[in-house]
Amino acid sequence: MGEKDDYYKHVAFNHDSTRFVCACNDGVEVYDCDPLKLAFGRNPKLAKGLAIAEMEDNLRLFLLGGGKFPLDDNKRVVIWDEVQGRISSKSYNCASQVLAIKVSGDAVAIVMQNKVELHVYVKANETSRIYSSVTTCNLRGVCALSPGYVLAIPGLSEGEVRIHAAHRHPFSINAHANTLSCLALSQNGRFLATASVKGTVVKIYSISTGWGEKLQELRRGKDKAEIWSMAFSPDNHWLALTSDKCTIHVFKFQLKTKSHAVVTFSSKEPYTILVACRNSTFYKLKFDPAFGGTMKQEKYCIFPEV
């Protein structure tokens, strides 16, 4: 972990993996993935510390203040509109500290220690809270949100996942014996990946049935690991994950850094993985679906320098 990890507090891909956003000590940066270049950021109006930055589309950002000189307090989520070049009059004022924000289409999930709220845009700058759900203690801000308002969050007991979906009754899955560390939903909201703080096994569930059928268990390794990020491929045939073991698992690949990393699949090229790290490094990797083996590194760079 280096000094860049202290500068970049949070990194997240957008919904279609064409861009990623970085929450910084003195503002926000948004990068195009292919080719890698700075799209916008470092705006003087946003030149204050951020803890979280998430992207609804390519031009609207959900921001949470943080650091020594925060943009705002840690209970208020503000919206930056790049088209208007200003912070929107709409914001989300929460009862306790916000630990994570997840955005998909016109839905926004706001995660607190013991509660998750889901808000949906009804028209410009107006939202409606469609529900809130109490969770077990969730200091990691574990949550996943997919189009169609499918939401996966911790339940009321350790290792339990609660699924909320439009036009269906909520249901729970007893996924792990230990505390959840990471959740991921497929883009069509039909599949769920779960990992616990033990980090040795990832479980895949079908959730379109309304009760959560376990489809597969994927063994990451024998040693305990912190799973940082998981992502399904667009065709749902692959799952990629990053962990504190400096590896990406679709097939094993050794990163050059131990910095916190987030992973997604390229929207332009099949069998291609994109990884953005908090120490400002970016990787583009290709894997062989037929023969496996070590992934080929197609790109490695430091993104503030592109």
Q: pTM to 2 decimals?
A: 0.91
Pairing mode of beta strands 239-243, 227-232:
antiparallel
Lowest-pLDDT range, 73-77, 179-183, 209-213?
Answer: 209-213
In the predicted model, what is the mean pLDDT of the chain? 90
CATH of domain 83-305: 2.130.10.10
What 3-state DSSP class applies to 177? coil
What pairing do the DSSP bridges indicate for beta strands 27-33 and 19-24?
antiparallel
Distance CA 185, CA 304 (A): 30
The tokens of 72 are what?
């705002």
What b/e string do you get for 164-184 counting C-beta neighbours within 10 Å, with b at 16 or more?
A: bbeeeeebebebbeebbbbbb
Arithmetic mean of pLDDT, 174-181: 97
The percent of residues in the chain predicted with pLDDT above 70, rounded, is 95
2 pLDDT tier (thresholds 50, 70, 90): very low
Domain residue limits, the chain: 83-305
The pLDDT score that the predictor gives to residue 89 is 84
